[in-house]
Amino acid sequence: MFLVWLTGIAALVLFAGLAWYLAPLDPGVIALQFAFTPKAFASIVHAWPPEHLLRYRMHLPVDVILLVCYGSFGYLLASRSALFARRSPAARAAAAWALPLAAAFDAAEDALHWWLTEVPRFGATLPYALSAAWSSLKWALLLAYGIAVVYALARTEQMEAPP
């Protein structure tokens, strides 16, 4: 359980630190994550002064550490804790791999954002759509994992409640 706690706390601390670091960006990074077209992407990064674009780019290496932490946490919580022990093997496997898969999509999105924010690349439309699609999949998996955890917690409480 030590690794579950370690990765969970590390992910939480990194997330909070990055949220604080990126807070000055307006529009925020969530808007950039769902920019499916070069025009939508450009409207966001061009609204930022150069120092904010640099701030965004400088957060990406730290974000890689965050995604390793949250991917590891999700896998460890689902596979090593008692929370999912009473779930079916398929449900447990799905929960175990949801956050590592979300982290993989996050890494792919980060790589494209690093490349797309280096210089204008408005002639290449596919990378913008891919980065937003990968971000959408990442957020869907994060939401699904959160729902699975809430469901597992609710089921655990029902099983432990006296009749």
Domain range list for the chain: 2-160
The total number of residues shown for the chain amounts to: 163
Whether residue 151 contacts residue 81, with contact meaning beta carbons closer than 8 Å, is answered with: no
Whether residue 21 contacts residue 51, with contact meaning beta carbons closer than 8 Å, is answered with: no
**Among 66-75, 116-125, 130-139, 150-159, the least confident range:** 150-159
Rounded alpha-carbon distances, angstroms, from residue 149 to 9, 59, 64, 76, 78: 17, 28, 24, 13, 9
Whether residue 131 contacts residue 112, with contact meaning beta carbons closer than 8 Å, is answered with: yes
- Residue-wise pLDDT for 51-90, tens only, equals 999 999 999 999 999 999 999 999 999 999 999 988 889 9
Q: State the pLDDT at residue 146.
A: 96
pTM of the complete model: 0.91
Q: What single DSSP character describes residue 104?
A: H
